[in-house]
Structure 1
Amino acid sequence: MKGSVTKRCPCPVQRNARGERIACKIKHGSWTYVADAGRDPATGRRRQLRGSGYATKGEAEAALAEHVDSVRKGTATHDERQTVAAYLRGWLEQREANGLRPTTLQSYRQHVEQLFVPQIGHLRLRDLRPGHVEAMFREIAKPQPGRRPRGPASIARIHATLRSALGAAVKRRLISFNHAVGIDLPKAQRPRVQPWQPAELGRFLDFAAADPLGALFETMAGTGLRRGEAAGLRWVDVDLEAGVAIVHQQVVAIDDGKPCPHCGGRHREASFGRPKTRSGEDRVVDLDSGVIGVLMAHRLTQDAQRAAWGEAYLDHGLVFAREDGTPWPPVRLTKRFNELVRAAGLPKVSLHALRHGQASLMLAAGVPMAVVSKRLGHSTISLTSDTYSHLLEGVGRDAAERAAALVPRALRDHSVTTPAPETTQAPRQSDGGPGIAGVDGAASGNRTPDNLITSEVLCRLS
C-alpha cells in the first residue's frame, strides 16, 4: 500500500531543482498523510484515505504506518466520506427494508431527525468521538420550553437507538469503535405499575358494559392483550368453543402510507402490523368464561350493525371494529377509556393498566411468573419480573408456608413453661442442696442447677 506525508501551511509552495516540493521550515501549519486505499468495489473508482492535524512529520508518518498496518491486518475502516446524518438516514432505510416494525421505525426516525441530526449530523462519521455523544446527551437532557424534561427511561431509549446505529457502522467497517458505548447516562429505573384494585376494576367494567367499547375493555382486562392487539384481533383467530384466541396482528397508531391489506384503502391513524415482540406473535391466549360470554354478545351486536350498513359495510374481519367495519384508531380507544374513567369517578390510570391488572390478578392467584410472561407476550421473563415483582409481597409469604407444609414433621411443643403457682407452704428441701423444681427435695422457684444461666426465660426452657 502506497502513501505519503505533506505539510500544509499558508506559505508559498517551494520546489527544489528536480521540481519536488520542499516542506516549509517554519514551525507552523500541520502535517497530513494520504494513503492509497485501492479501488471501491462498488464503483471501481480509486480511493484515498487522509489524516490531518499532526504537529510534526514524525507524527504523520507514524499515523500512516499505523493505517498501513491496519490494512494489512484487515482491520482498516473507511467511512466513505459520509456525514453522521447521511449514514443515519441510510441506516434507517436499511432497517425499514429489513422489515423493522412500523412503530419502532417511527421512534427511530424521530430520534434521528429531531435529536441526532441537529446535534451531530454535520460531523464526518470517522470524526465522531465520545465527547460529541456525551455533549449531545447533556443537551437532550436539558428542560425545553413548553415540554416536560426527558426522564432517564426516555434518554435510555434514545441512547439505545444511537448505539444500535453505530454498532451497525462498526460491523460494516465504516468506523473502528462504537462511540455510544460506555458513556455516562442518568440511571433509568422501571417505574412501578399501580393497577386498580379488583373492586375498582369491577366497578369500571360494570360502568362501561353498555358502552360500544365496553366489550373491548373487558377483553383487555381479562386477557392482558395490548391496546393494538385487541384492536387487531380477528374473528378467524378466536375459537369461542375452545376458549382461546391467537394473536397474529395489531393495529398501530401511524399512517405508514401503505394500502390496507383488507380493503385496499388507507385508514387515518391506523395501520396493521405484527405484534410488538417476536415472543408475542402467534401466541395463544386462554379465555375465561366471562370473556367468552362478552364476546358472544358482542358478536350479535356486530352482526346487527353489518346488516344495517349493508353493502357499505367494510368488513375487515375484526372482533372490535367501528360501526362501518373499519379499524379503531388506537388513540380513539385511549381517549374513550379516559372519558369513562372520569365519568365513573375512579382513580386515573392508563389504558395499559388493564393489562397490568390482568398480570397482578394472575400473580395474586399464584400463577407462576413464567406462565404470566408467556400469556402477556413479554420478550423475556426478566421483563415480567422487573415490572411486577413488587406485587408479590404477600404471595411470597404464602408460597413459603405452602412449601413448608409439604415437609412431614413430628409434633413439637413450642410453648414456654409457666412458673408454678405460689403456695402458702414452702416446698420441702433436702440436705443435698439445690435441686429441680417440682421434684421432692428440689429448690423452689425457677432457677436451674447451672448457675451460669441467669436469664429467667432460659432457665424455664432449660
Structure 2
Amino acid sequence: MNGSVYKRCSCPSNGGQGARRVACRKDHGTWYYVLDLGPGPGADGTWRRRRQSKKGGFRTKKEAEVALAQAAASKADGTLAYDQSLTVGRYLETWLEQKVAAGLKPTTARSYRQHIDDYLVPLFGHRRLRDLGPGEVEVALSGLVQDGGKRGRPVSPSTVQRIRATLRSALASAKRKRLVATNAAQDLELPAARRPRVSPWEPDELGAFLEVAAQDSLGALFEVIAFTGLRRGEALGLRWADIDVKSRRLVVRRQVVGLPSPEPCPFCGAVHKGRQFGSPKTEGREGGVIELATRTLEALEAHGLVQDLDRAEWGTAYSDHDLVFARPNGEPLAPDAVTKAFTALAEKAGLRPVRLHDLRHGAASLMLADGVDIAVVSKVLGHSSIAITVDTYAHLLPGVGRDAAERAASRVRRPVRDHSVTTRPNMRSLKASTYGETAGQEVGPVGIEPTTRGLKVRCSAD
C-alpha cells in the first residue's frame, strides 16, 4: 500500500513529515492520511502523472490508519473518489463546458445553465464534491417546493425533478471519472410531479379561431400546427423543400429556437438576433414524415402566393432562406413573437385562453377521437416514447373512452338468451313462500322484469 499517516498541529516539528512535534501533547492536533493513486485524470479532467488522495480530521493515529486501509481497498476495487478539494460549483462549470464542446443542444445547455445558476450553485456550490451526500441533496431539493430558489419563488415539483435530473447527469459523469464514489442525486424521494391535464380547444372552438386567424399573415402557420401536431419550432424551421405537394407530405428536418446568443445561420451566414436553427427536439424526429390534409395543402398554397408578393416587393433585399413561414424580408420568425400573435388572435376570437402548444395537443386529440391508433399518433407527434402519448392524450375529448368501450364490447359475440328460464339449478329448490305462495310448493318459470330500483325476479307456480 502506497500511503502513510501523519499528524498536523501548530507545534514546531523536530523532523520531517510525521515526526514527533516539539512539546506536542498526545491528544493535540489531528491526524491525516495520504494515499498515492498513480497516474490518471485530475479534477479538471487533464491527465496527471501523479495523484494523491488526502483526508484529515482523525482524532488518533489508529483512526487515520483504518481510514487509509479503507481508502486503499476502495482504490483496489475502483470505487475510490479522487477530487481533492474540488467544489460542486467549480465542477458543474467544467462539466457544462465539456458537454457544450461535445455537441450539447443549445436549448438543453440553456436549461442546464439556468438550473446551475439559479438553484444548484446557491444550494451546493460551496460544498466539496466528494462530501455531497444524498440526504443533503434530498432535503435541499424538497425545500425548493416551499422556499423557492435564488428568485425567491416556490418551485413546482416537476421543475424540481428537472433540476434533480441535471444534477444527476453531472454526478453520473463525475462518478465515471472517479471524482465521486456514488451519485448523490440518485434514488431520492422528492415531491411527486404529476403530468398536468391538458385542455385544448374543442373542435368548434378551434374552427372559430382558425376563421379569425385566416385574416392574419400567420394564419397558415396556425393551421399547419393545428392539423399536423408540429411543435412551434418545427413549424418555424419548415422549408418549402421539405414539402412534397404531389405525395401530400412534409418532412421534419430542423427547428427554430430562441437563444440570447445564437450561432451563425447555416443558410446565410448571418447571426439572427434571438433566433437559431437547430435539430429537432427528440432523437429520431429528424426525417420524420407527416401526411397533409387537403385543406392544409390549400392553406399552404395560398400562403405561398402571399409570400411571393413579399419577395417581389423586397427585391434584392429579400433574404431567401426558403422558409415556409418567415418575416416579410425572408428571415426566420422569432418564436416568442409567434406566441404573442397567437394569444392576440385567440382574444380577438373571444375564446378561452390556451397555449400555442395546445394546438399540438388538439391535433392529437382529434386524431384519437377519429379512431387513429395511438401508436400512429405517437409517431406523428414525434414522441420519444408511446407511453408519453398514452399518459397525455388518451382521454382528452369527451366520448373517446366511451367509444373505445363500445368497440371493445361489440367484438365479443354471445348468443341471445331467453331470460325466462325454468331449469336453473339454483332456482329449482326455491320455496314459493319466498314469493308469497304456499310453503313447500315448487317454483315454476322464472322471469326478470325492470323496476325503478333495478331488476325484479318474477316467478310463477306450476
Kindly indicate whether residue 60 of structure 2 is the aligned counterpart of residue 83 of structure 1.
Answer: no
Partner residue of 1:106 out of 97, 107, 110: 110
1:381 aligns with 2:386: yes
Identity %: 51
Larger Rg: 1
Matched, 1:2 2:7: no
Post-superposition offset of 1:81: 4.2
Deviation at 1:449, TM superposition (A): 1.4
Residue 154 of structure 1 aligns with an amino acid whose one-letter code is T
Q: Does 1:31 align with 2:15?
A: no
Partner of 2:55, secondary structure, is strand
Which range is displaced more, 408-417 or 205-214?
Answer: 408-417
1:102–1:256 CA contact under 8 A, matched in 2: no
* Separation (CA, whole Å) in 1 of partners of 2:99 and 2:460: 74
Distance across 2 between alignment mates of 1:222 and 1:44: 58
Distance across 1 between alignment mates of 2:232 and 2:329: 20
Alpha-carbon deviation of 1:148?
4.5
Aligned equivalents of 1:54, 1:321: Cα separation in 2: 67
SS of structure 1 residue aligned to 2:33: strand
1:80–1:316: structure 2 CA closer, same or farther, 3 Å change rule? farther
Distance 1:360 1:415, change over 3 A: farther
Q: Where does residue 249 of structure 1 map in the other structure? A: 254
User: Match for 2:315 among 310, 315, 330?
Assistant: 310
The SS at the match of 1:50 is strand
1:139-190 alpha-carbon deviations (Å, 9 max, x no partner): 5331469864211111111111001110111111111100111233111000
Partner of 1:127: 131
Separation in 2 of the partners of 1:39 and 1:360?
58
Q: Aligned residue for 1:440?
A: none
- In structure 2, the residue matched to 1:329 is 334
Match of residue 228 from structure 1: 233
**1:295 matches 2:300:** yes
- Corresponding position of 1:357: 362
CA–CA distance in structure 1, aligned partners of residues 101 and 253 of structure 2: 21
- What is the distance in 1 between the residues matched to 2:204 and 2:57? 70
TM-score (norm 2): 0.87
| Corresponding residue SS for 1:391 | coil
What count of residue pairs does the alignment treat as equivalent? Answer: 437
Residue 29 to residue 94, structure 1, CA distance change in 2 (3 Å): same
The answer as to 2:50 corresponding to 1:51 is no
Q: Distance in 2 between matches of 1:291 and 1:107?
A: 34
Instruction: Report Cα offsets for 1:297-346 as digits up to 9, x if no partner.
Output: 11111111111111100011110011000000000000001111111110
Shift in Å at residue 97 of structure 1?
2.0
Classify the secondary structure of the residue corresponding to 2:27.
Answer: coil
Q: Unaligned regions of 5+ residues in structure 1, if any?
A: 418-433, 437-442
Q: Deviations over 1:208-259 (max 9, x none)?
A: 1010000100110010000000110111010122110100000001144411
Deviation of 1:12 after TM superposition, in Å, equals: 3.9
Mapped to 2, the partners of 1:44 and 1:461 lie a distance apart of 99
Q: Distance in 2 between matches of 1:43 and 1:172?
A: 11
**Does 1:211 find its partner at 2:216?**
yes
Name the SS for the 1:390 alignment partner: coil
Runs of 4+ in 1 over 6 A off after TM superposition: 144-147
- Which letter does structure 2 place at the counterpart of 1:29? G
Deviation at 1:45, TM superposition (A): 4.2
Cα pair 1:416 1:460 within 8 Å, conserved? no
Q: Secondary structure at the match of 1:46?
A: coil
TM-superposed CA distance for 1:40, in Å, is: 4.5
* Cα distance between partner residues in 2 of 1:145 and 1:60: 40
Secondary structure (helix, strand or coil) at the match of 1:190 reads coil
With over 3 angstroms needed to count, the CA separation of the structure-2 counterparts of 1:337 and 1:392, relative to structure 1, is closer
Paired residue type of 1:103: T
One-letter identity of the residue aligned with 1:122: H
User: Retained in 1: the 8 A contact 2:11–2:21?
Assistant: no
**Distance verdict in 2 for CA 1:257–1:435, change over 3 Å:** closer
Residue 258 of structure 2 contacts residue 336 of structure 2 at CA under 8 Å; is this kept in 1? yes
State the alpha-carbon separation in 2 of the partners of residues 448 and 13 from structure 1.
114
Q: RMSD in angstroms over aligned alpha carbons?
A: 3.1
Question: Counterpart of 2:457?
Answer: 458
Contact 1:313–1:324 under 8 Å retained in 2: yes
Instruction: Report the TM-score, using the length of structure 1 for normalisation.
Output: 0.87
Cα separation, partners in 2 of 1:268 and 1:414, compared to 1, 3 Å = farther
